[in-house]
Amino acid sequence: MFINANGFYVPSQRVSNDYFYSLNGLSSEWIFQRTGIATRSKVSNGENGVTMGKASVEMAIKQLPYPIQEVDLIISAGYTPEDTVGTLAHIIQRDYNIEKAKTMMISSACSSCVNALEIIEMYFKSGKASKALIICSENNSYYNNETDPKSGHLWGDAAVAMFVSKDRMATHEPEILNITTHGLGHIGKGPYGVHLCPNNGGIEMPDGKDVFANATHYMVGALNEVIHDNGITIHDLDFIIGHQANMRIINSMLYFLNVPESKSLNNIRDYGNTGSASAFLVMMENLHLFKKDMLVGITVFGGGYSSGAVLIRF
């Protein structure tokens, strides 16, 4: 599979750590030391999951080497939808008159984007699609309980869009070499480590220690899986991008991989945890660093639990 075009949107508003002291009693220093987050992105009035998703698609279209109407599969991936019936995927289909596309919403928490890529891979292999669009728009602030001292200070808002095709459409396109995903509801706290109940507390993380331990373990495992399947080692990767949940998780992952911090790309300090958009947002913001034939590994972990990884050659 090949990445034809990328787009992203990050709201301009930033919420500092100091904001939370009066809400949950946590100091700015305490939050930063334990998460690596200094500010988090948050939608302003008039912005939401739909507007962010559409803005990311608009950015990507400018690079697209074919008419958007040729897309035959649209997936909205994420866990903070504005509408669970008239989904973002359906809105994009309507607004851009993409008549022939299969259209759906999928969620596997913060690993949703990687799961969407694997679904697309299967559609391509079956011959039922050849050009696809993924939109991950996470409006965490819509669901967040900011007074929750365990996780109310973690979440940021952002969106990414990515067009992918079965065949190469332009000479410069990055190639997705391998994808893996795993459902992990049976391990640790599983479905209860992180949950989002809109009418009962919103998004919460009651078992952060369990999430930390399993995220580190399974992000390492997923990344090792995709690189070993391609006959390379971790040291052949030029850059590693982990899910931007917590800087300590990322540093722990690097320790177990025996990889220097200089190979890790991150944006959690400024944006917070932007969910399933986070790792691909890091990739898109750093495209200028990736030279021809560089290898980039992306590895993610989602509440519920789930994990996944992608190996990309630029």
C-beta contacts of 192-199 below 8 A and 24+ residues apart: 193/303, 193/304, 193/305, 194/109, 194/151, 194/303, 194/304, 195/303, 196/79, 196/80, 196/143, 198/143
Residue 195 predicted with pLDDT over 90: no
**Sequence-ordered list of residues with C-beta below 8 angstroms from that of 137, at least 6 positions apart, any chain:** 49, 50, 52, 53, 56, 76, 78, 80, 88, 158, 159, 160, 277
Which CATH architecture fits 2-165? 3-Layer(aba) Sandwich (3.40)
Give, in degrees to the nearest 5, the angle at Cα 202 between 27 and 275: 75
Point out which residues pair with 273 in neighbouring strands: 155
- Write out the CATH class of domain 175-313: alpha beta
Q: What is the domain partition of the chain in residue ranges?
A: 2-165, 175-313
How confident is the model at residue 198, as a pLDDT?
Answer: 85
* Identical fold, 2-165 and 175-313: yes
Amino acid identity for residue 266 in this structure: N
Q: Which two tokens stand for residue 76?
A: 């909205």
Nearest to 253 by CA among 240, 271, 239, 262: 240
Q: Express each pLDDT in 101-137 by its tens digit.
A: 999 999 999 999 999 999 999 999 999 999 999 999 9
| Token duo for residue 300 | 């993610």
pLDDT band at 159 (very low <50, low <70, confident <90, very high): very high
Model confidence at 305, in pLDDT bands (50, 70, 90)? very high
- What number is the average pLDDT over the span 196-225? 90
Residue-wise pLDDT for 261-300, tens only, equals 999 999 999 999 999 999 999 999 999 999 999 999 999 9
Distance of alpha carbon 43 from alpha carbon 10, whole angstroms:
8
Q: How many CB atoms lie within 10 A of CB 90?
A: 17
One-letter amino acid of 41: S
pTM of the model: 0.96
Residue type, position 39, single letter: T
Mean pLDDT, the chain, integer: 96
In this predicted structure, the answer to whether residue 204 has a pLDDT above a threshold of 90 is: no
The values of phi and psi at residue 137, to 5°, are -125, 110
The answer to whether 278 touches 308, Cβ cutoff 8 Å, is no
Mean pLDDT across 51-79: 98
Residue 251: both structure tokens together = 């540093």
Q: Is the peptide bond before 305 cis (omega within 30 degrees of 0)?
A: yes
Residue 193 in contact with residue 305, Cβ under 8 Å? yes
3-state secondary structure 27-85: CHHHHHHHHCCCEEEECCCCCCHHHHHHHHHHHHHCCCCCCHHHCCEEEEECCCCCCCC
Work out the pLDDT band at 208, boundaries 50, 70, 90: confident
CB neighbour list of residue 156: distance below 8 Å, 6 or more residues apart? 40, 41, 42, 140, 141, 271, 272, 273, 274
Least confident of 24-33, 161-170, 186-195, 305-314: 186-195
